[in-house]
Structure 1
Amino acid sequence: MVISVFGIFLGGIIEFAHAYLVIHTLNAAAKRAARYGAAEGVSTTEVRDRVDELLGSTFRPSEATIYVKDAGVFDSAPFNPTAVDYTNLPDIELEDAEPTQLFAVRVSVPYNEIAIMPTTMWVKDLTLWGGAVMRHE
């Protein structure tokens, strides 16, 4: 009895640690890709490729959804950042972006796709995400 409870406890620790690893990787990939995309002459496709490259060491990049969006909505006041639906923001081609124009890179992955153990035991319908907002140069 004690061993089975300890096994479940240990499995939970491992699974949550893996989830935090993925969240950190998503945030780091979005931030590094946004910094890369802030430079002049970099395309949106190159930013997406950069995210794929950075995610490849943690999980299959094909599992992730990458958004590169015009984040001009962040410049308007008053603004509630919790009310933003990133999927509905307009797409942006970074090669055509104006200097100081805000853009967002957001990367999300369904937890079921990256979980170590079957997720029916721990969580359902959870999406992990990371993001960064940067000004184009």
Structure 2
Amino acid sequence: MTEFAVCLPLFGLFLAAILEINHASMTAATMRAAAEKAGRMGVMDGVTTAEVETLARETAGAAVPNGNIRVHVKNAAAFDSGGDPSEIAVDSLPDIEVADARPRQLFVVRVEVTYADVSLIPPFLLKGPDGGPKVIYGQAVNRHE
């Protein structure tokens, strides 16, 4: 009986961890799919940034409550100049109106959610690099046609 008393909480913790990690993986896949789908739409002529953001929210909203989703559509011309892309923070890039973009202009669509807002259990396993809340995101970089 004591084995059961020791094993049951450990099994419950193990099961909760598996569910939480799978949920985080599903959320990340949904964010990537939303960014890619919205980015593909943004390459077409006549499509506005608002339409791109709406499509990203609709796609990500299949797995995440819409009020928690943040969508950024940014001018990514800084990536054209070369250098290390990991040193360029997407948040620091200027906003872009996709309908006014030049042909071949690079833009990035980033769809993100703070995982603490959508986790199944309190997110004690998933923390950000600074120990703060983990942000799960999907990102697509495209050229306007």
**Normalised by the shorter chain, which TM-score bucket?**
over 0.9
> Residue 61 of structure 2 aligns with which residue?
56
Per-residue CA deviation, residues 43-74 of structure 1 (Å, 9 max, x unaligned), is 00000000111012101122011100000111
Amino acid of the structure 2 residue aligned with 1:135? R
Runs of 4+ in 1 over 4 A off after TM superposition: none
Aligned counterparts of 2:41 and 2:85: Cα–Cα separation in 1 = 24
> Residue 89 of structure 2 aligns with which residue?
85
Per-residue CA deviation, residues 56-95 of structure 1 (Å, 9 max, x unaligned), is 2101122011100000111112x11111211110110011
Aligned counterparts of 2:76 and 2:37: Cα–Cα separation in 1 = 17
> What root-mean-square deviation, in Å, do the aligned CA atoms of Structure 1 and Structure 2 show?
0.9
Amino acid of the structure 2 residue aligned with 1:8? L
> Residue 122 of structure 1 aligns with which residue?
125
**Bigger Cα Rg:** 2
Amino acid of the structure 1 residue aligned with 2:134? L
Aligned counterparts of 1:98 and 1:62: Cα–Cα separation in 2 = 32
> Residue 36 of structure 2 aligns with which residue?
31
Determine helix, strand or coil for the equivalent of 1:23.
helix
Aligned counterparts of 1:103 and 1:110: Cα–Cα separation in 2 = 23
Where do 5+ consecutive residues of structure 2 fail to align? 1-5, 128-132
> Residue 141 of structure 2 aligns with which residue?
133
Amino acid of the structure 1 residue aligned with 2:138? G
**CA positional deviation for 1:118:** 1.1
Q: TM-score, normalised by structure 2?
A: 0.90
**CA positional deviation for 1:122:** 2.1
Matched pairs, number? 135
2:7 to 2, 17, 34: 2
